[in-house]
Copies of this chain bind each other. A is one copy, B any other.
Amino acid sequence: MEDFTFQCKTKFIFGKNTENQVGDETKKYSSNILLHYGKGSIKKSGLYDKIIKSLDNSGVKYTELSGVIPNPRLELVKEGIKICRENKIDFILAVGGGSVIDSAKAIAMGVPYEGDVWDFFSKGKKITNALHISTVLTLPATGSEASSATVITNGKRKLAASSDFLRPVFSIMNPELTFTLPKFQTVCGISDMMAHIFERYFSNSKNVNLTDELCEGTLRSLIKNARLVMKEPENYDCRANIMWAGTIAHGGILGTGRDEDWASHRIEHELSAFYDITHGAGLSIIFPAWMKYVYKHDVNKFAQFGKEVWGIESENKEETALKAIEHTKNFFREIGLPVSLKELKINEEKLEEMAKACGSVGNFVKLNEKDVLEIYRLAL
């Protein structure tokens, strides 16, 4: 087991009608906030009205910034930073999914920084301060309601930054808010959660059986509930298990004591930067290809994955490993996710350019530009 430091300060307020607590919780930190959200689905669902009512009741003044889109853009982040500075705002409430939360995190770290906020992403500048942020989660997927990370898109560059300063001070999670999610968004969320676990599970760290167990258990629960939610989209407990799994998957605890990989995320980021596809759909294409490309590095681990997660019983480890990869791909297909680039009408054309932009990635297996290109080709 590797040495580690782990701290997740976020207060999770989970359950029915919890969105009505947003005003009181916010008031503990600020009475002058930025209310950040997407393209307005929260208005249609009635969530916006509830949030406003709760903020008003608690005497919290808010300035609105809407318009966050999937693969959230740097331009809007910069607009948010300007608004916060002009209005002396010291707290950001993100209402939405991972894109809105990531956008809020980028604004939060940009406000106290004199330089260009993109420095944190492109130059790896260390984050030493940020406004407090909080969330009302509407789309379980990225784990951003708990995580230290944010991913922002600037032109064709999609990059990540991370710091414990970016963990939300509170996250409100009502599974009922996810009953009406389109099926495709639900399954993209599940793919993203599973990917967050894979990035930690496939590790060179030895003798980490506790976190192996936690990873495998969370994966099994996700697979079970993914199948159930297809049939019963308004099953509260099913939605609740999925929503909380998203937080567990990326809150950090599953990675404690382990070297993590993150190659597939970087490889997918180029894909969604070039083609603006949904992250979870990119991951369901890339992960099986990545697995096929790297499994020989640790056949035992992939065989363990096959046995524990997919219930494959075989004496032959190579066979179990290969079957596990097939099961993963078949599962993604079964729940309605793409598993090849051609399904998204992406062909050979830009693969080399994307591989070049991606560069060297990974930790479980260190991959260079050529390896990345091979993985893109396996995904065609």
Please report A residues at the B interface, Cβ cutoff 8 Å: 1-16, 18, 175, 206-210, 213-214, 216-218, 220-221, 224-225, 236-238, 240-241, 244-245, 248, 253, 256-257
Contacts and interface: CB of A to CB of B under 8 A. Distances in A.
Contact of A218 (B10, B213, B238): B213
A207 B241 contact: yes
A218 B214 contact: yes
A339 to B, nearest CB: 25
A210 B218 contact: yes
B1 A209 contact: no
Contact of A15 (B4, B7, B13, B221): B4
A5 B12 CA distance: 5
28 contacts: A1-B236, A1-B237, A1-B240, A3-B14, A3-B16, A3-B18, A4-B12, A5-B12, A5-B14, A6-B11, A6-B12, A7-B12, A12-B256, A14-B257, A207-B237, A209-B221, A209-B241, A210-B217, A210-B221, A210-B241, A210-B248, A213-B217, A213-B220, A213-B221, A216-B217, A217-B217, A244-B256, A244-B257
A213 B223 CA distance: 12
A175 B4 CA distance: 12
- Per assembly, the copies of the chain total 2
A241 B212 CA distance: 11
A288 B163 CA distance: 45
Nearest to A11: B7
A200 to B, nearest CB: 14
The 8 closest A-B CB pairs, nearest first, are A3-B15, A213-B217, A207-B237, A7-B11, A210-B221, A1-B240, A217-B217, A210-B241
A241 B208 contact: yes
Contacts of A241: 1, 207-210
A5 B16 contact: no
Given A1-B236, A209-B221, 9 more contacts: A1-B240, A4-B12, A4-B14, A7-B11, A9-B9, A207-B238, A207-B240, A210-B248, A244-B257
